Every structure is written in structure tokens, then in C-alpha cells.
Chain A
Amino acid sequence: MSNFSVAFRDFDIATILTVYGELDAHTAPELESAIKKCVNEGKIYLIVNGHGLDYISSAGLGVFMAYIEEIRALNGDIKICALKPKVFNVFDLLGFPRIYHIVKTEEEALSLFNQGIQPV
């Protein structure tokens, strides 16, 4: 039933989490444990690539909130890139662009890490 998956990939200093499918209350724990795993392994420069993400619910958005404080306390960040317009709209309505860097490409996200720019 679950049509959601996460793929890990190292990209320079960052770790890219490519998400596919629908991120809702049922699938949110998968992404949450993926992020938790990265944090536990000391990977704090995370880029979530959302080009394969078809849908996100409020519970899915909550996942980004769960570890952000911890990651930022370590000078890391979660950056979001390549969202479909419809999915971006959900992020946007909630005001996520004010809190997270939401960019077009992984490279942009990486350069933001390299420049050490924090969104807030």
C-alpha cells in the first residue's frame, strides 16, 4: 500500500534524500527515521530532493520540523529542492520558504551549504 520511498546519496559534503511518492501520515515515519538515521550518523547537511514527490500532507510537513532544531544546533540544515509546483504550493501556504531554503536544484542547495547561509 505504501507508495513512498527514500533514497540516500552523498553529494559533496551533503547527503541527498530523494523522496518519491506520497508523504502522508502513514509514510511520514519512513522519512522521519531516514532523517534520524542521518543525524545519528553525523550527517547534518541534508538536501531533500522532492522531484518525485507527488503529494504531501500536513503530517508529512511535520517531519521537516521534527529534527530541524537539533540539526541547526549542530550548524547543519535541511534544504529542500526540485519540488513540483503543486507540492511547493503546500509548503508555501504554510510559510515554509521563510524557514527553509527551498530551491530549484541540488547544486543550488549545495552552494548554500558551502556559503554557510542559514535561512533564518
Chain B
Amino acid sequence: MAILSVFKRLWRWLPLIGFPLLFIGTTVFAFLGGLDESSTLVQRIVHHAALVLCFLCLWITVARLVHNSRPTPVQTFWQTILAILGISFVAFLAFQIQGDFIERSVPAASIVHIKSALLSVLLAGLSFFVVHRLGRLVRFRRTRTGERNWRLMILFIGVASLSTALVHHLFESYLPEGLYAILPIIVLCLTAIIFILMNSVRLAWIVRLSLRGKGAAIGLGTAIIVLLVCVLAALGNVGSIVGSATLTPPGNFLLFYSTPLTVVTFFFLFFGLIYALTSVLSLIFHLPTTADYRRSTDEMVAMRTLSGLLREVVESEKLHQWAVSTPVESGHANTAWLTVQNLESGSLTAHIVASRNIESKHINELCDITAIHNTIVQTREPVLIQDTLIDTRTRKSKSGKFESLLAIPLSTRTEVLAVLFASRDVIHAFEREDVEAIGVFASQATLVLENARLLEATIERERLANELAIARDVQQRLLPQTMPDLPNLNLAASSVAAREVGGDYFDILELGEGELAFIVADVSGKGTSAAFYMAEMQGIFQAVARIAPAPDIFLGHANQALGESLEKSIFITAIYGIINCQSGRIALARAGHTPAVLVDASGNAKLLCSDGLGIGLDRGELFKNVLEVEHLELKPDDLLVLYTDGVVESRNHEGEEFGYDRLLQTVQAARNEDAQGVHDSIRQTVDEFMGSNKSYDDDLTLLIIKWHGCKTLSSGTTQTSLS
């Protein structure tokens, strides 16, 4: 591992150190005499290998220099131009160094070696920079084949140029004359050119440019073309053609320094020229598509905004505004608005909830939104009016802004939530793509709207559930929490609501003088409305029973009081009584309620069916006239069971009712237990009867009174009877 890290560190510094060392070494070597006719093949190979290594180091150094920055295409072009200008200027200065060839390959002075070395390194460096810099653009959105082609281009340029060295510098004298010798080189060069052309058409970066960027890139690309043509021309013999024929062209200095390097430099600069050329041409051709590309980018941005909206809770106004803004902002429409059906009015008119670039009153002048909306609600298909003059539902505007119209439903599986209208200022403006794109917005908007609605509904449901839970607690507190501990008798009671709140009521009240008032009542129907009347009943019981405890008087008052507030179709049945805790005497009245069950110690059971109307059935005298008060005296161990119809009307799976017979049997069977025992027994039997159908259909209330009898009195009676 240590070796590896040392190697890595060396690798980092090697090119940077290797390049100047090798460059200076080879230049000094050439300056001192260098190779000549007498040099051996080994000497030649070593010299050229050193040169290859030297420029490989330069290549790597330039690659690293360029690697870290990621400029935009326009910046890349700028950098390339500056590099060409700067290096060309330095090269021009170097070219001014006095010294020339006597004839080709024969320098007049040693300084020519340095001059040629300087020119070579400058131009090679420039070509390396150009390739690396433009290579970034070539490899924009990299693909495997793209990478492969790029590397093969570099490889073939390298191999082609090295092969020229073999011919030119090393084995010149050993090779046969003629075409055979250079044929492989030509093949290699052609291959390199093919790869140059292949890489020159990789221009994916162009589409993303804005119109301004494209314009800039065209200008700069043209400048690069001009500059590279100049550089290449200057390298060759063009200068002599122009007139300064006395000077040796700069290209000769490069060739003198190293043939393969010259070839590489030429190829790289050539690639730069070709790439700049294809870029400029392609940029020109892409100019018209810029707007379309921008539009699709805007669509993507709009979609992203939407997915942002999806994640947060938004008010529907914001969503509506988004839905009408998107088609306009993405360039698919000039104006847009959104309509929903007016639910409050009951009639099927549509109204505008959001609009963009147009006012609601103008929309109503221009088109019959209700007609179009209702058509879409029925068909669930978009409506496309390519010319607003022709359709009966639309009118042209004077301003000429309203020429074609598209209406797309925002529909869920079950209903049309809204309709999105989009209009353009020319006829036949909506192409299939526009319809599809706006359709996509509409479906996305539907998703968001539906989402928001569901969320709202969930929150509302939770709120209602909370309210009902509170109502249930309140209602539970209206019922007695504990049963009073009384001499001679024993009480048990419970009430279960079918829903959160119910209409059943039971209560007891100690009146003083050993008397106890008790009531079981049932408001017709169930749920919230019943719960309110139950609460009213509770108030009446607690207030009236104290001052008018007699059953007929109390129920008469209750009927009068409730008659005012009860809905016509609602009535309350009640069974009310007072018991004397000393004597066991009971006065009981039944206002339409299910009859109380009386079971004595020996198991005789009967239903106490005294006459009486339900509270609220008659608001006049009839109620009082009909009501009958039953007087009875309890014997020890007598059971009085009061209940609501929820008990006898509980049903099992077959739809069979629990009924009076089962109730009587249950009470008879449990008659030896105390009140709580009888209560539990009834509840258990009802539950068993209902089986797994556990949820009660109706509210279910039980009140059990078990009379133990007045112990002292009863023993006294026994004694008297015995004596």
C-alpha cells in the first residue's frame, strides 16, 4: 500500500517535473550538436523517446489544468480564442529570434534549435489546450460510445503521427522508396480524420443554450475558425505566397524539431477548426428551435412547481391560480381560466374561479362558459374550438385576442372537478401537442386538487369526530354517574348509544321523605338530533320532578314543555315513577314507552301496560286524559325492569328480534340476583343473542330496581301474621 501511495504521489508530480527536465535536456542536447548523420539508431531512438515522453508530460499537464474547470460553452469558446491569440503572439515573438536554415534541415546557427524548440512547444501546447477544452463540449452528456470514439480519435492521431517518425527520422534509409512505405501512414491518418469528423458532430450542448448564448457562440465560433485558419496558414507556406518569401515558414521549424509532434499539432488544430465549423453551422440551424426548447423547459419547471405544491398543503385559490398560469407561462396559450360548477345556487351554472391575462367579465362577454362546462361535464371530453367565429358558444373579441379556444376537463374517476379553458390569438392555434400538453397540466392539477380536497375532507372528518367525542362525554355526564345507596332497595342502570350520541335517557332523583323518582326515556330516531331532545328531557326531569313529582303531573308538564320544541315527526316515550323507599309503594306512568317488567320472587312476570301517549304526539288535553297512573306495592325480592326498545328490538343474524318473551325469561332466570346481577344478565343475554352482530342498531338502556323489602317492617308483619 505504501508503494502505491508513493507511486500515486509521484504520478501527480512526475509530468509537471518531467516536462521541463526533458524539454530542457533535449533542447540542450540539440543545441550542443544533437543528432547528425553519424548518430546510431539507438541514439536516435533514445532522443525521440525522450521527446515523446516530454510532450506526453505536457499533454497530461494541460489535461489536468483543464480538468478542474467546467465552463459554459460560451466561456469555453472565449478561453479558446484567448489561448490562440496569446500563444500565437508569443510564438510570433519567438519567431522573431534571428536564425534560419541554410537549406531544409540544415540550421544556420545553434540558436535555430532553441527557436524551433520554443515554437514547437508553444504550438503543441496550444493544440493540446484546444483539444482538451473543446473535448469538454464533445463529451457533454457522455455516452459509452462517445467516450470510446473520443479516445480512439486521440489514439489514432497519436499513432499516425508516431508512425511518421519511424519513416522520417529513424528508418528512412532502410525503407523502400515509394507508396508502400507511406501507405500505412495514409491509412492511419485517414482513420484519424474519420474519428475527428465523428467527434465533430457531437454537439449536444447546443440545444440547451438560450438564444443569446447561441448568438454569442456563433460569433465566437466564427472567430475561432478565422484564427485557426490563420494559424494553420502561417504554419504552412502561405506566408511565402503572400510575399515574404525570404523567410522560412514556421512549419519548417516544427518539422525540424520533431515530425510526429508537427503532425499531432496539425491534427489537433485541424480538429479544433472542424469542431468550430460544425458548431457554428449547427448553432445556426438550431436557432429557430430555441423557443420550442425553452417551452419544453418551462413545462418541466411548471411540473416541478406542481410536485412542490403536491407536497405542501395549499389553499384551493392558489391551486386554481397555478392551473391557469401554467398554460400561459409555458407558452401554450395567451389567456386561460378555470371554471367550476356553482353548487350553492342549485342550477348548473359555471363560474370562473381563476383567470390569467383576462378579466372575468370579458370572458362572459366572449363565450358561454356554462354551455361548454356542462357539455364537458357530460362527455368528459375536451372541447376544441379552432375558430371562435364559427362556434355558437363563442364570439370573437374586437381586440382579436380570442380566436381559438380549448377547454379541458379536470376530471377524477367519478366527477369533473373543474374545466380549464385556454385561448390563443390566432385561429387553428392549438396543435395536437398543445392539447396534449395542456391535458397533462389539467390532469396534474386534478391530482393536486383532489389531494387537497381529500385532505380537507379528512381534517373536517377528524374535527367532526372530535366534536362528537366531546358531545358523547357531555351526554354521558348528563346520566347519573353512580347509583345512590338506599335502604331496602338496590339499583343498577346503563345506557349504550348506537352512535356517538343517542336519544336514550335514564335518571333517578332523591326527593326527600324517602321518596325516589326514576325515569327511562327514549327520543324517536337516534344520533345528534335525538341527543338534543334527550338533554332537554334531562333538564325537565331534574327541574320538574322536584316540584311536581306525581307521575301524571310530571309527564303532563313534560309534554307541554317539549311539545313546543319537538319537531312534528319526533316524539319521546318515557316511563316515570316514584317509589317510597320505606313502604315499597310505587306510582308509575307510561308515556308510550315500552312497558316495565315486574317479576316477583316466585318468578311470576308481567308487563305493566298502563295507558299513555308518547310525549309530543298530542299537544292538547288528550295526553293528560289518556295517561293512567298505576299504583303498586312491591313485595320483598320483587324486580322492576325498565328499558328502552333497543333491548326488545335487538336483532340477530336472521333478523329475528330479541322480543318480550326472551326478556321476561331472562329476568325470571336472574331474579335471585341483585340489581347489578340482573342488569348484567340481561346485557349478556342480549349480546349473546346478537352474536357477532355487536354494533347496536338502536340505543339501549336498562334500569333495574330490586326491592329487598323493609326488613324491620316485614319481620314485624311476619310476626303479626304468626301471632
Tell me, in angstroms, the Cα distance from A94 to B575 when the chains sit together.
11
Q: Which residues of B contact A66 (CB under 8 A)?
A: 568-569
Tell me, in angstroms, the Cα distance from A69 to B611 when the chains sit together.
23
Residues of B in contact (CB 8 Å), total 26
B636 at the interface (CB under 8 A from A): no
Tell me which of A67, A69, A95, A99 has the highest count of chain B C-beta atoms within 10 A of its own C-beta.
A95
Q: Which residues of A contact B613 (CB under 8 A)?
A: 94-95, 98-99
Within 8 A of A (CB), among B617-657: 617-618, 622, 626, 645, 649
Whether the Cβ atoms of A58 and B618 lie closer than 8 Å is no
B639 to chain A, nearest CB (A): 21
Whether the Cβ atoms of A98 and B626 lie closer than 8 Å is yes
A17 to chain B, nearest CB (A): 16
Q: Which residues of B contact A34 (CB under 8 A)?
A: none
B133 at the interface (CB under 8 A from A): no
Whether the Cβ atoms of A95 and B592 lie closer than 8 Å is yes
A58 to chain B, nearest CB (A): 4
Chain B, residues 659-679, CB within 8 Å of chain A (1/0): the string is 000000000000000000000
Q: Which residues of A contact B525 (CB under 8 A)?
A: 25, 58-59, 62
Chain A, residues 83-106, CB within 8 Å of chain B (1/0): the string is 000000000011110110000000
Partner of A69, one of B524, B568, B594: B568
B573 at the interface (CB under 8 A from A): yes
B390 to chain A, nearest CB (A): 47
Tell me, in angstroms, the Cα distance from A66 to B569 when the chains sit together.
4
Q: Which residues of A contact B611 (CB under 8 A)?
A: 95
Tell me, in angstroms, the Cα distance from A32 to B569 when the chains sit together.
10
B593 at the interface (CB under 8 A from A): yes
B507 at the interface (CB under 8 A from A): no
Q: Which residues of A contact B573 (CB under 8 A)?
A: 58, 93-94
Whether the Cβ atoms of A65 and B649 lie closer than 8 Å is no
Tell me which of A58, A59, A61, A69 has the highest count of chain B C-beta atoms within 10 A of its own C-beta.
A58
Tell me which of A59, A94, A120 has the highest count of chain B C-beta atoms within 10 A of its own C-beta.
A94
B570 at the interface (CB under 8 A from A): yes
A78 at the interface (CB under 8 A from B): no
Whether the Cβ atoms of B618 and A99 lie closer than 8 Å is yes
Tell me, in angstroms, the Cα distance from A24 to B230 when the chains sit together.
101
Q: Which residues of A contact B594 (CB under 8 A)?
A: 93
Tell me which of A61, A62, A66 has the highest count of chain B C-beta atoms within 10 A of its own C-beta.
A62
Tell me, in angstroms, the Cα distance from A69 to B612 when the chains sit together.
20
Whether the Cβ atoms of B617 and A93 lie closer than 8 Å is no
Within 8 A of B (CB), among A53-88: 57-59, 61-63, 65-69
Tell me, in angstroms, the Cα distance from A63 to B524 when the chains sit together.
11
Whether the Cβ atoms of A25 and B571 lie closer than 8 Å is no
B614 at the interface (CB under 8 A from A): yes
Tell me, in angstroms, the Cα distance from A25 to B303 when the chains sit together.
49
Q: Which residues of B contact A67 (CB under 8 A)?
A: 568
Given contacts A95-B614, A99-B622, contact A25 B569 (CB under 8 A): no
Q: Which residues of A contact B524 (CB under 8 A)?
A: 58-59, 61-62
A77 to chain B, nearest CB (A): 15
Partner of B570, one of A62, A95, A120: A62
Question: What are the 5 closest A-B residue pairs judged by CB atoms, nearest first?
Answer: A95-B613, A58-B524, A62-B569, A66-B569, A94-B592
Given A94-B613, A99-B613: 8 more A-B contacts, CB < 8 Å: A59-B524, A62-B569, A62-B570, A63-B569, A93-B594, A95-B612, A95-B613, A95-B626
14 contacts between A and B (CB under 8 A): A25-B525, A25-B526, A57-B649, A58-B573, A59-B525, A59-B526, A61-B571, A62-B571, A66-B568, A66-B569, A93-B573, A93-B592, A94-B571, A94-B592
Interface residues of B (CB under 8 A from A): 522, 524-526, 568-571, 573, 592-595, 609, 611-614, 616-618, 622, 626, 645, 649, 698
Interface residues of A (CB under 8 A from B): 25, 32, 57-59, 61-63, 65-69, 93-96, 98-99, 120
